[in-house]
Chains A and B, each alone.
Chain A
Amino acid sequence: MRVENNQRRQMAMMSLPALVFTVSMIAFPFIYTIWMSFQTYSSTGQITGWGGGNYRRMIDDAQFWNGIWITFYLYALSLVMQLVLGTGLALLLFRAKRLPGILRSLFISPFLMPPVVAGMMWLVILDPSLGAANWILTSLGLPPSDWLASPMMVVPTLAIIDTWQWTPYVALIVLGGLQSLPPSVYEAAEIDGASRRAVFFRITLPLLLPTLVTAMVLRSVDLLRFFDLIYITTQGGPSNHSMTLNIYGFRQGFEFFQLGYASALMVTLSVMVLGAVIALNRLRAGVEW
């Protein structure tokens, strides 16, 4: 009995640092943000009131709803492109087993680049007057684009940049999944004379689903909090057409001193991210094999 108690005490002592770290670094900031979201601040950062005013303000704020729309539009567009292209790239790397190491490294290099550097690079490439993108288009006889300066093009352009950067990451996850698939299933399919198309859609894709959902969870958390690339390239413009909820909350807090309102926006965004992760985890449990 005494030995058991001692063991429990030792286990408690050993897990205490992790518990302290979790409470101080994760729980405290989140609880503090929730507390701040119920405070109203003046333009000089002074607390002027308390209550649910920030949440009521959110409901009447057209920019909040625009932020939700932009957040999910960008999320859906980027996620679909990254999953499709990531799977394609993974299949390519899986089949080309003799691909030189340098080429493999080149394929995965974009996601090793800091987003700030990637943003600055694309900002220069996509500059409508001086950038290489329009030079290439016009050289091919195609009309130039305003890219990040066009209300219609800004979200697709951001999705393309993010896809360029993060497709290799998805590809690496999917490649891991491909390498773990049981060869016996493919041997049976070959004996049965299944076409390559049938093998892909009837065997590979269903077996890859758990891996794809894992990639979806990982990318969803990042995409719903999409910030750095937008901040570097458009800061939510032109005319709020790329103003995701994250960017909107950041600007309210750090540029306009509306810390309470910014906290309310961030709490709402956190709930959305949490909801998406829970939903995707349930989906993942349903496709396990």
Chain B
Amino acid sequence: MHITFRSAAYLSTALAVCWPAVSVAQEFDWRAHEGETITFLANSNPLGQLIVANADEFRELTGINLVVDSYQEQQMRQRLMTVMNARSNEVDIFMTLPSREGMQFASAGWYADISDFIENNVSPDYDAQGFGPALMEAATFDGALTGVPLNIEGPLLYYRTDVFEECGLEAPATLDALVDAAASLSDCTDLTPFASRGLAPAVPYTFAGFLRNMGGEYMHDGQSALCAPEAQQALTLYSDLLRDYGPPGVVNYSFQQLTALYRAGRSAMSFQSSNEFGPIMEGGVRLEDTAIIPLPEGPGGSHPTVIGWSLAISSHSSNPDAAWYFLQWATGPEMQARLALEGIAPPREAIAESEDYRAWLSESEVRQQWHDALTVLANTGSSEIGYPIVANPESREYIGQAVADLLLGNGTVEEACARADTALNALIARD
């Protein structure tokens, strides 16, 4: 599902009137499902890890026996697919990325409709309207509410202030300035000047912002548009930056390698997920010498990428009521306030304004910069990382393949984009 977050903000106001009022059940009892068992399929990213780390609190609060099944992102989806295709009740609740798989999972009927739960069975302090109707609308497919947001995130440019100062550089304000800065850094320092994702299926997360800022788009008139001049320029810019100024072996780089490289002080700029803020700052060294900004604007303006993970209940769950309790706990204001203090950007506006969060941000300049950059993403960003089609996950493979071809010198940009367009048009037709 494609949602532009600026339009989402406008939509919020309009939908505030339309979104059904949430009736808080006066008799809501957290112990209503005591002794029951549910299974949570978690992604072992920082967000999932933090939820799992706090899970004992949920067990104590509800008496529900929570079983956690935690995997890395791709393995988590493979596990989910096996379970769902078998129509098994082995998973009751799972983490999902609507911008990637929302349309696909909703079409396959994997999400339970939780509209009734959120209207009739919420704890008094849940504040379902705290997300804003636009975010909830983004999780609604064919009138069914499929999930509740856990966070907002997007790629941000982390850079070393000490190295920039040594080399007499300013923070890049445009994509041209970003290239110039990388070139200057390669002359001035031994550090890798610029690092970003190069692993084919992971590339679109970081590449999509370059594409839009260069004025490109994935699809035009129902056809793949990677060979449009603006898209070709974006492909060239992204791959040149990584090939000329990136780390060796960048074609295998995803978020783990980027975090390890930057945290070890081996890269001067890293275009990396906002969710990696916590792991990058572990140990505190990078807190002192890092600044964070959104991706600089290009000829097409500034259209950064912003997405969010959600929690959804399986349509095959045999215990959706207890699963709904876990969903409420994990997406409730108290839990999300706690996650915010660990570097997980909150989807609830009230938390972003809370005193504790403000105090946490004020402890370090880079935290405030991280928050400010995420605010820009939330206000101006787009969630279109892959093609806006049901086969969105497969489309990402072909986008990444075009970049990988250029990184490895497999032909010209015209050849790489033509190969990708052929595969993508076939995919669009199949979709």
Q: Which of B78, B264, B430 contacts A130 (CB 8 A)?
A: B264
Q: Which of B249, B250, B393, B410 contacts A148 (CB 8 A)?
A: B249
Task: Report the minimum CB–CB distance from A231 to chain B (whole Å).
Answer: 9
CA distance A210 to B39 in the complex (A): 51
Residue numbers in B under 8 Å from A148 (CB-CB): 249, 252
Q: Are B249 and A257 in contact (CB under 8 A)?
A: no
CA distance A44 to B397 in the complex (A): 17
The SS class assigned to the A binding surface is loop
Q: Are A256 and B264 in contact (CB under 8 A)?
A: no
Residue numbers in B under 8 Å from A239 (CB-CB): 200, 251, 401, 404-405, 407-408, 410
Q: Are B252 and A255 in contact (CB under 8 A)?
A: no
Q: Are B393 and A256 in contact (CB under 8 A)?
A: yes
Q: Are A129 and B248 in contact (CB under 8 A)?
A: yes
Q: Is B394 an interface residue (CB 8 A)?
A: yes
From residue 10 to 50 of chain A, which have CB atoms closer than 8 A to chain B? 42-46
Residue numbers in A under 8 Å from B410 (CB-CB): 239
Task: Report the minimum CB–CB distance from B267 to chain A (whole Å).
Answer: 8
Interface string of B324-353 (1 = CB under 8 A from A): 000000000000000000000000000000
Residue numbers in B under 8 Å from A234 (CB-CB): 252
Residue numbers in B under 8 Å from A146 (CB-CB): 248-249
Q: Are A43 and B85 in contact (CB under 8 A)?
A: no
Task: Report the minimum CB–CB distance from B115 to chain A (whole Å).
Answer: 21
Residue numbers in B under 8 Å from A151 (CB-CB): 408
Known: A43-B430, A130-B260. A238 touches B81 (CB 8 A): no
From residue 177 to 200 of chain A, which have CB atoms closer than 8 A to chain B? none
Residue numbers in B under 8 Å from A147 (CB-CB): 249
Q: Is B44 an interface residue (CB 8 A)?
A: no
Task: Report the minimum CB–CB distance from B424 to chain A (whole Å).
Answer: 13
CA distance A257 to B261 in the complex (A): 34
Q: Is B77 an interface residue (CB 8 A)?
A: yes
Q: Are B248 and A128 in contact (CB under 8 A)?
A: yes
Task: Report the minimum CB–CB distance from B195 to chain A (whole Å).
Answer: 9
Residue of A nearest to B406 (CB): A239
Q: Are B251 and A44 in contact (CB under 8 A)?
A: no
Q: Which of A42, A43, A127, A238 contacts B404 (CB 8 A)?
A: A238
CA distance A42 to B251 in the complex (A): 30
CA distance A255 to B82 in the complex (A): 11
Q: Is A237 an interface residue (CB 8 A)?
A: yes
Interface string of B404-431 (1 = CB under 8 A from A): 1101101000000000000000000011
Known: A44-B107, A237-B252. A129 touches B404 (CB 8 A): no
Q: Are A144 and B248 in contact (CB under 8 A)?
A: yes
Residue numbers in A under 8 Å from B250 (CB-CB): 149
Task: Report the minimum CB–CB distance from A130 to chain B (whole Å).
Answer: 6
Q: Are A256 and B249 in contact (CB under 8 A)?
A: no
Q: Is B285 an interface residue (CB 8 A)?
A: no
Known: A43-B391, A239-B200, A239-B410. A129 touches B108 (CB 8 A): no
Known: A255-B77, A256-B391, A257-B104. A129 touches B430 (CB 8 A): no
Q: Are B405 and A129 in contact (CB under 8 A)?
A: no
Q: Are A238 and B108 in contact (CB under 8 A)?
A: no
Task: Report the minimum CB–CB distance from A136 to chain B (whole Å).
Answer: 15
Known: A43-B430, A239-B410, A256-B393. A127 touches B257 (CB 8 A): yes
Residue numbers in B under 8 Å from A149 (CB-CB): 248-252
From residue 26 to 59 of chain B, which have CB atoms closer than 8 A to chain A? none
Interface string of B186-201 (1 = CB under 8 A from A): 0000001000000111
Most chain B beta-carbon neighbours within 10 Å: one of A42, A46, A147 = A42
Residue numbers in A under 8 Å from B192 (CB-CB): 129
CA distance A140 to B12 in the complex (A): 62
CA distance A238 to B107 in the complex (A): 32
Residue numbers in A under 8 Å from B74 (CB-CB): 255
Most chain A beta-carbon neighbours within 10 Å: one of B249, B390, B391 = B249
Residue of B nearest to A146 (CB): B249
CA distance A43 to B397 in the complex (A): 14
Residue numbers in B under 8 Å from A144 (CB-CB): 248
Q: Is B266 an interface residue (CB 8 A)?
A: yes
Q: Are B78 and A254 in contact (CB under 8 A)?
A: yes
Task: Report the minimum CB–CB distance from A14 to chain B (whole Å).
Answer: 33
Q: Are A129 and B85 in contact (CB under 8 A)?
A: no
Residue numbers in A under 8 Å from B308 (CB-CB): none
Most chain A beta-carbon neighbours within 10 Å: one of B108, B247, B252, B404 = B252
Q: Are B104 and A43 in contact (CB under 8 A)?
A: yes
CA distance A234 to B249 in the complex (A): 11
CA distance A100 to B77 in the complex (A): 47
Q: Are A45 and B108 in contact (CB under 8 A)?
A: yes
Task: Report the minimum CB–CB distance from B422 to chain A (whole Å).
Answer: 11
CA distance A182 to B112 in the complex (A): 70
Residue numbers in A under 8 Å from B430 (CB-CB): 42-43
Residue numbers in B under 8 Å from A134 (CB-CB): 248
From residue 104 to 160 of chain A, which have CB atoms closer than 8 A to chain B? 127-130, 134, 144, 146-151
Q: Are A237 and B248 in contact (CB under 8 A)?
A: no
CA distance A151 to B250 in the complex (A): 12
Known: A43-B391, A238-B404, A238-B408. A129 touches B251 (CB 8 A): no
Residue numbers in A under 8 Å from B257 (CB-CB): 127
Known: A239-B405, A254-B78, A255-B394. A129 touches B247 (CB 8 A): yes
Residue numbers in A under 8 Å from B252 (CB-CB): 148-149, 234, 237-238
Residue numbers in A under 8 Å from B78 (CB-CB): 254-255
CA distance A237 to B257 in the complex (A): 15
Q: What are 5 A-B pairs with beta-carbon distances under 8 A?
A: A43-B390, A44-B390, A127-B257, A128-B249, A256-B391
7 shortest A-B CB distances, which residue pairs? A149-B249, A128-B249, A128-B248, A43-B391, A44-B108, A238-B251, A44-B107
Q: A43-B431, A255-B397 are in contact. List 6 more A-B contacts (CB 8 A).
A: A43-B104, A43-B394, A45-B108, A148-B249, A239-B200, A239-B251
Interface residues of B (CB under 8 A from A): 74, 77-78, 81-82, 84-85, 104, 107-108, 192, 199-201, 247-252, 257, 260-261, 264, 266, 389-391, 393-394, 397, 401, 404-405, 407-408, 410, 430-431
